[in-house]
Structure formats: structure tokens, C-alpha cells
Structure 1
């Protein structure tokens, strides 16, 4: 089954007056929807847009695997475990909040920052926080988040190019840029598909141009 969620249907949040725009795919904060709490291990998929100088002051997380993909600009990260980094397009950032961690996320650059941040539920609570950045991850190289029983596949497709969606109990597809055809549906940038019991499914970039997708492969819901 494929459940397509359009970009325009996301819950809008953030603080536009402070240069922060957020688009939530799942129930989040004041946007409570008991029928849209999670899919597989995915608890949140937020599109964040930060103006130069804008950002999120230090705030806590716990029992959450947080994976971030920058589409444009540079994200500055600092956390209470002593990690500090600048994350750019093509980098995968993974913060395992475990028993608890605090962090700051800012756009310290001169250009707008756009990133997708995904929260996953861990298989077990607790533990020690950890942090990793993989710079310039190669296309089709899966990134494992074993604490959540999940694999992230980053796919960059040329015009007309196709890719298989993993045969898995749960797959979550988010289109970062471009357009793809998936199971008879056309998905544009910001659209997502929640796929249950995928088998032999393919995504195809349209002939009009390239596309970039984030695909989560998950064994448990």
C-alpha cells in the first residue's frame, strides 16, 4: 500500500518573524493528530528553513534518533556532549539522543538554510548520546541507524533514471528536489510516500530533470 502525503498538507510551524519556517509531516507540538503520530520508526519529518542568523537555541532531546539532511546552505551544530560541526549538502548528520542531550542548531552563514530533519524511535530507551557526520555520502550507499532498526538510502537520479524501493515491511520516501513517479503517483519536492509491504516497487525521475530522494527502509512499526 502507498499512502502519498503532499507538501501542501504539512503542518506549518516555526517562527517566521525570527526567520524560522517549519513544515511538519507528522503530528507535532500544537498540531496534534492522533491518526498521524508515526510511520514505522519515523516519528517526525520536518522541513526547516532558516534565514541567515536564525536558529534554534539550546533545547533537549531524549530517546530519539535524529537524522538531518541539508538541501541548501550550512547547518551549525553544537551539543552538550561536546560535539560541534558544520553540516552541508551531501552530508548525513546523526545525533542519537539516547538518555538525554541538549543541542543548538543555527544558520551562521550568509545564505538561506534548508534542511530535512527526521526523528526515529529507538528500539530500546536510554544509553549514552552519540554523534556522527558522514561528509559527502555516496549515492546509493545506505546509512544504518541500528538503534532504530532502520536504513537510510540517499538516491540522486538523473532524468528518466529509476531506482528500486527496498522490499521491506515499511518504507518512507521523501522527495528533496525534482519529481519522481512512484507506483502510478507523481511526487514533487516536499511530497512523501508511506509504503507498507513494498515488493518490486520502483521510483523513476521524470524526463524533465534530476531528482533527489531520501528513502527509509524499516523492519518494524
Structure 2
């Protein structure tokens, strides 16, 4: 298990424009040839947007983009005609496939924080696709067959234990709170990269925790 701490993330964004970004993997000007991906995960970015701030229209291709809002509301618009508000508890997926352009903004009156994860598809190309699952339940994994991956959301009360999926590649990101995983304490923004994960469990500490876990078969 390889633990990456929140303070090791690359800082990006444009603070003067109300955008603060923390990158877990090599990203943009923060090139790190030893940290390009884990399993299918290419990026795990924590984004903070001030009211009125956002990312103007920009392109993506050959990437599965999954977004988890922590607080606030995310406005999404894309070149295929989709427009939506994504709120805490919703899972948003944009399959950029052969190419798509989109806008991400905080059009609300309170700060917006979200975690965005990029995964590599098994096959490039195809047609873009978009969906939002509103209020996903802890017991309902979100399948991403295009990347041979499954997202599990865990919201744990203090002291609660949860089984961690067995997987060839397992990526665990702590959204909030603290957990004990295989002897390591993980706090907000920390992540664990586990190869050939088997028979692991996470235990919430303190006031509980919220976790995002990617179960992946390909890398």
C-alpha cells in the first residue's frame, strides 16, 4: 500500500481568479514521470471554486471524467447539449470519448468544492456520453465498464467498519474525516494506492468519514 498525503499534492489553479486546485497525479506544469497513473486513474483533483469562478469551455478526449461534489453546487455545460447542476451526493460522469468540450462553474453564492477523477478507457474513441446519478446510496456501486472500474462511496459513522473491495488495483481517497486502513491513519485529502487488495477493511475514527474507493481490474 502506497499512502500519499494531502500536503504532497501539487498545487495548481488560479487563486487570483478564485480557483484552487490540488493534484494527486502528474498534471499540467507539474510533470512527474513516476506519478502518471495508478490502475486506470490518471487524475484525482480537488477543486475549490469561489462564487462566480469556474473553468471556461475546454476540450477533453479519451478520458472518463467522474466528479463528486463535496459542498456547494457545480454547474456543468457541454458541447453535446447537456446542462446540469451537480450537488453533494451526486455522481457525475462525462465520457469524453472522441472529443467533447465543457464548462464547469460555481454559479452559486457559496464556495464550491469537488473531487474530480479522470480514468483511462479500455478503448479510445467513440461517442461522448453524460449522466448524473442523484443521491447515490452507499450500497450502490457506480460501474464504469469503459475503464473496467467501479466506484464505491462510503459514509461512515464514528467507529463504523466497512469492507474494502478486493481488487487488482484499489484507489482510496478520503473526502472528509479520518479512517484507519491496514494500520495507516488517513485524513482528508490523503489517498492510498493498493495493489492486489484483499481482505482489507476501513474503520472510521473521530467524527466519522467519507471515502471514495475505486475498484479497478485494468492498469
Instruction: Quote the offset at 1:40 in angstroms.
Output: 0.1
Q: Give the alignment of 1:46-85 within 5 angstroms.
A: 46-85=45-84
Instruction: Quote the offset at 1:8 in angstroms.
Output: 0.4
Q: Give the alignment of 1:64-213 within 5 angstroms.
A: 64-206=63-205, 208-213=206-211
Q: Name the counterpart of 2:44.
A: 45
Instruction: Quote the offset at 1:140 in angstroms.
Output: 2.5
Q: Name the counterpart of 2:214.
A: 216
CA–CA distance in structure 2, aligned partners of residues 24 and 195 of structure 1: 19
TM-score, normalisation: structure 1? 0.99
After superposition, the CA RMSD in angstroms is 0.4
CA–CA distance in structure 2, aligned partners of residues 67 and 178 of structure 1: 21
Instruction: Quote the offset at 1:210 in angstroms.
Output: 1.4
Runs of 4+ aligned residues of structure 1 deviating over 6 Å after TM superposition are none
Instruction: Quote the offset at 1:164 in angstroms.
Output: 1.1
Give secondary structure in 1 for the equivalent of 2:139: coil
CA–CA distance in structure 2, aligned partners of residues 26 and 140 of structure 1: 28
Instruction: Quote the offset at 1:141 in angstroms.
Output: 1.0
Instruction: Quote the offset at 1:220 in angstroms.
Output: 1.1
Q: Deviations over 1:138-167 (max 9, x none)?
A: 113100011000000000001000111111
CA–CA distance in structure 1, aligned partners of residues 96 and 86 of structure 2: 18
CA–CA distance in structure 1, aligned partners of residues 142 and 107 of structure 2: 27
CA–CA distance in structure 1, aligned partners of residues 188 and 152 of structure 2: 17
Q: Deviations over 1:60-118 (max 9, x none)?
A: 00000000000000000000000000000000000000000000000000000000000
Q: Deviations over 1:17-48 (max 9, x none)?
A: 00000000000000000000000000000000
Give secondary structure in 1 for the equivalent of 2:197: coil
Can you give the 5+ residue segments of structure 1 that lack an aligned partner in the other structure?
none
CA–CA distance in structure 2, aligned partners of residues 65 and 33 of structure 1: 21
Give secondary structure in 2 for the equivalent of 1:8: helix
